[in-house]
């Protein structure tokens, strides 16, 4: 039976934290043999290792700030969200933040700052960051808003606090939309799921700024659409190697090289896959597969974990995995509170 909505909400945020904590082991690794991934995952079943042994990183730290801000300041308060990012960074700066975003987070801490979007706009010589930091924390936007238009609008704004390049904030919107559609059960029809994402991104990438940024970075005119078409082509193939996924979609720290990849991981693992244990259910397969790609594994697994968790629900996540990861209980609590908020009438704009 399809999971109920509350289970999907909890699955989304807990899946996101799990991907971050479990994926952290391989972040930056070039070649990750599948047996090393399986070894890492089977160690999670070892009861003697203690609870919360795998720590979360910036992905979860910032996701929590987004969720808390949405819960207290609906629909969106940029000053509140910026303040939470800065406070969290000041409290725990060693969570593995990107080297560029650190400068933004320091500036956001200033009580004299009037325009909270300004520090992001001066990053990288004024081009802004195209990193995946906006996308890695985007899941709560899908849980807070019912309409697709609101999910897009606010996930982009939330990302712009640190990522002013359209590749950065459009990547965040793509991730939030994927979680939104997954919550609605759209992964039951995978082809329709990907087609919907492509048509949403076509609209977003028509935008003048998006066209300008794509050109300046020497990318195709519609960079996310073109990656999502590649996802579709890979879905149609009987067998796909890890090397092909990396060369076609990427596994890097840029949003363009990781958000479509995370979406592919979820789609590819909807069915059992050779090399992955038969006892693994969908979310376990998705996280295992994300890790085997190497590169930005915590973030790809975090994003794939959120989309997959929204599809399979909380009951599909092994207790041993949940116990091994720091911050699962807090994520579960945030998901429950966002669900309560989601159930209240929302104003139509």
Residue 75 CB burial class (10 angstroms; 0-12, 13-18, ≥19): middle
| 74-82, 96-104, 219-227, 313-321 -> range binding ligand F2R (CB under 6 A) | 96-104
Contact 260, 228 (CB under 8 A): yes
CA distance 29 to 293: 9
Find which of Mg ion, ligand F2R, none residue 314 binds, CB within 5 to 8 Å per kind.
none
Residues from 43 through 62 that contact Mg ion (CB under 5 A): 57-59
For the residues of 313-324, what is the DSSP string, one character each? -GGGS-HHHHHH
Site for ligand F2R in 227-266 (CB under 6 A): 253
Distance between CA atoms of residues 81 and 93, nearest Å: 17
CA distance 300 to 265: 9
According to the binding rule CB under 6 A, does residue 86 interact with ligand F2R?
Answer: no
- 223 is an interface residue for ligand F2R by CB under 6 A: no
The C-alpha angle 234, 22, 129, rounded to 5 degrees, equals 65
Contact 163, 131 (CB under 8 A): yes
Q: 3-class DSSP state for residue 255?
A: helix
When binding is defined by CB under 6 A, the residue of 59, 88, 150, 200 that contacts ligand F2R is: 59
Determine the Cα–Cα distance for residues 330 and 14; give it in Å rounded to an integer: 9
Piece in contact with ligand F2R (CB under 6 A), picked from 92-100, 281-289, 316-324, 327-335: 92-100
Using the minimum distance from each CB to Mg ion, give the nearer residue, 11 or 23: 23
Q: Which of residues 286-345 bind Mg ion (CB under 5 A)?
A: 296, 298-299
Contacted by 150, from Mg ion, ligand F2R, none: CB < 5 to 8 Å by type: none
Residue 133 beta carbon to ligand F2R: minimum distance, rounded to whole angstroms? 2
Show the site string, 124-143: x = touches ligand F2R by CB under 6 A, - = not: x--x-xxxxx--x-------
Residues that bind Mg ion (CB under 5 A): 57-59, 96, 296, 298-299
Positions that interact with ligand F2R (CB under 6 A): 27, 57-59, 96-101, 124, 127, 129-133, 136, 165, 253, 296, 298-299
């Amino acid at each position: 039976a399809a999971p109920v909505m509350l289970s999907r909400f909890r699955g989304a945020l807990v899946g996101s934290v799990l991907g971050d904590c479990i994926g952290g082991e391989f972040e930056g690794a070039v070649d990750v043999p599948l047996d090393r991934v399986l070894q890492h995952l089977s160690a999670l079943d070892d009861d003697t290792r203690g609870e919360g042994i795998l720590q979360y990183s910036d992905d979860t730290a910032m996701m929590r700030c987004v969720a808390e801000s949405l819960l207290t300041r609906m629909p969106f308060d940029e000053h509140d969200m910026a303040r939470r990012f800065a406070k969290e960074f000041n409290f725990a700066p060693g969570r593995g933040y990107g080297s560029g975003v650190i400068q933004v987070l320091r500036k956001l801490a200033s009580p004299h700052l009037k325009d909270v979007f300004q520090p992001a706009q001066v990053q990288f010589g004024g081009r802004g960051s195209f990193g995946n930091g906006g996308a890695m924390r985007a899941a709560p936007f899908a849980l807070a808003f019912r309409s697709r238009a609101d999910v897009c609008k606010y996930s982009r704004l939330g990302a712009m606090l640190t990522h002013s390049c359209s590749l950065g904030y459009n990547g965040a919107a793509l991730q939030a939309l994927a979680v939104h559609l997954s919550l609605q059960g759209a992964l039951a029809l995978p082809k329709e799921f990907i087609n919907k994402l492509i048509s949403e991104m076509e609209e977003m990438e028509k935008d003048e700024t998006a066209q300008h940024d794509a050109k300046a970075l020497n990318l195709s005119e519609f960079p996310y659409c073109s990656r999502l078409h590649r996802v579709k082509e890979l879905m149609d193939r009987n067998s796909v190697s890890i090397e092909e996924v990396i060369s076609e979609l990427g596994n890097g720290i840029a949003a363009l090289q990781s958000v479509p990849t995370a979406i592919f991981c979820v789609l590819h693992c909807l069915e059992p896959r050779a090399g992955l244990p038969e006892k693994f259910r969908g979310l376990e397969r998705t996280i295992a597969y994300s890790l085997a790609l190497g590169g930005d594994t915590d973030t790809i697994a975090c994003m794939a974990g959120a989309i997959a968790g929204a599809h399979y629900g909380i009951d599909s996540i092994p207790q041993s995995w949940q116990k091994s990861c720091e911050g699962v209980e807090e994520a579960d609590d945030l998901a429950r509170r966002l669900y309560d908020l989601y159930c209240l009438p929302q104003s139509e704009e």
